[in-house]
Amino acid sequence: MAKSLGIPRSALSNVEAGTRKVGAIELSRLAKLYLRPLTWFTGEDTGIGLVLPKEVAHVARAAATLSRRDRQELARFAEFLKSRARGKGGSDGR
């Protein structure tokens, strides 16, 4: 994350510890990295929209770092999993 923000790891640790503020450029980079609007980070988000389970949000963050081709492959895999779940009569994978 420090590399994506263009800051040293020690600076990121300070941000995480609450001893360093996040600059506007860093905030913008965070929004792009996590595919969120700036208002999500500032607390101005109205909360309107989709709330994702933690596991799904984690996959989305990881997918954001992939190449376009890899994201397309991930989408195809997700479609495969959905079709497999439908064939088994549920979405829990049992």
Q: Supply the range of the domain harboring residue 9.
A: 2-42
Residue 36 sits in the same domain as residue 63? no
pLDDT per position as a tens digit, 63-81: 888 898 999 999 999 999 9
Cβ contacts of 24 within 8 Å, gap of 6 or more: none
Q: Is residue 47 part of a domain?
A: no
Identify the pLDDT of residue 90.
57
Average pLDDT, whole number, for the chain?
Answer: 83
Q: Is residue 73 part of a domain?
A: yes
Q: Is residue 93 part of a domain?
A: no
By the 8 A CB rule, do 16 and 8 touch? no
Please state the domain count of the chain.
2
CB neighbour class for 85 (10 Å; exposed up to 12, middle 13-18, buried from 19): middle
- One-letter identity of residue 34: Y
Residue 59 sits in the same domain as residue 80? yes
Residue 68 sits in the same domain as residue 37? no
Half-sphere exposure of 54 (CA within 13 A, CB side): 0
Q: Is residue 59 part of a domain?
A: yes
